[in-house]
Amino acid sequence: MADQVLTISSLTLRRPDDWHVHLRDGEMLAAVAPYTVRQFARAIVMPNLSPPVTTVAMAQAYRARIVTAAGPDFTPLMTCYLTDGTDPADLIAGFEAGVWVAAKLYPAHATTNSAHGVSDVARIRPVIAAMERAGMVLCVHGEVTDPAVDIFDREAVFLDRVLAPLLRDFPGLRVVLEHITTADAAQFVADGPATLAATITPQHLHLNRNALFADGLRPHAYCLPVVKRERHRLAVRAAAVSGSPKFFLGTDSAPHAVAAKESACGCAGIFNAPHALESYAAVFEAEGALDRFEGFASEHGARFYGRPLNEGTVTLVREPVDVPDRVAGIVPFHAGERLAWRVVG
Ligand code: NCD
Ligand code: ZN
């Protein structure tokens, strides 16, 4: 019927992966993991616990706790939190033993639980050189922390000051610039070498910085890197739906207790895991790019990380989902909104 030709009513994708997620630990891990597992086969798990995941033994223990919380159908891919003291030989031994999939560069004090991060990339050059030789992916939180740089410019300045020299000095290094938020970053990655890719979150596709101040201060729209101007959102959307293998799904789902968000000093992080795929689907549909959704969600990331594509599938149907005000006691992204696509299995 004409109707069916004009409007797709169901979408079956190869099972996707989340190339950037915060699963936390303890009770929070048990509460949030099922939402990621419901949609994703694998995820790159961020190591910014307190204390951070810096050793092979810590990663093995954390991975075991995740497997307990997530069950057998999910594969956590562990990342090493780099510090000024990371030992290159230990890191590469953990990578070659299959414990670490990637290492994470947090500039010190750039974001939640990053106090132990790297104070200056110059200090970890031997680590970076060893990663380049071993073919180990470097995941990057791409913001400078220089207090003289405006918070809305921290990503763009990072490209010039840190990332461009890093790629120049280590041309074989595989880098994922995570959660890109600006036209500058989208362009930098698109123009960069094949060793450079980027993840994109749902919130940076949906929100511009007005969301932070819509009728009052909105802590649940606050994450890092902070959402930017509308022209940046549009550029990030264009990159996501472009079909380029350099851009792929990474939710940066970052749950915080309600009291930690709704505070005089609210934490950065948006809990988008419950409806992540449905949120991305809305963007691809609005951009007339549903045919490119599978590449972004299920193929580009696996190829960049040199992993096999998943065998299973996930199906979304065009049925409204009303996002509740709380999920597992946490305020989810899109709380109180209606989304048009529903994951059914
Ligand atoms: C993350 C968190 O809460 O751990 N917060 C965030 O705003 N994205 C840390 C991070 O990825 O920057
Ligand atoms: Zn993150």
Is 56 within 8 Å of 93 (Cβ atoms)?
yes
Taking the complete model, does pTM exceed 0.95, yes or no? yes
Q: Which positions of the chain have pLDDT values less than 70?
A: 1-6
**pLDDT tens per residue, range 154-198:** 999 999 999 999 999 999 999 999 999 999 999 999 999 999 999
Centroid of ligand 2 to alpha carbon of 270 (angstroms): 9
DSSP string, 199-252: EE-HHHHH--GGGGGTTS--GGG--SSPP--HHHHHHHHHHHTS--TTEEE---
Residue count of the chain = 345
Active site residue 184: no
Is 174 within 8 Å of 249 (Cβ atoms)?
no
Domains, the chain, ordered by start: 15-312 (3.20.20.140)
Residue type, 78: M
What pLDDT is attached to residue 7? Answer: 76
List, as own/partner pairs, every contact residues 257-260 make where C-beta atoms lie below 8 angstroms and the sequence separation is at least 24, other chains included: 257/28, 257/329, 257/330, 258/326, 258/329, 258/330, 258/331
Q: Among all ligands shown, which has an atom nearest to the Cα of 44?
A: 2
Q: Tell whether ligand 1 has an atom less than 6 A from the beta carbon of residue 112.
A: yes
Is 250 within 8 Å of 18 (Cβ atoms)?
yes
Q: Tell whether ligand 1 has an atom less than 6 A from the beta carbon of residue 254.
A: yes
Nearest-CA neighbor of 185 among 137, 152, 145?
152
Residue type, 30: A
**pLDDT tens per residue, range 47-71:** 999 999 999 999 999 999 999 999 9
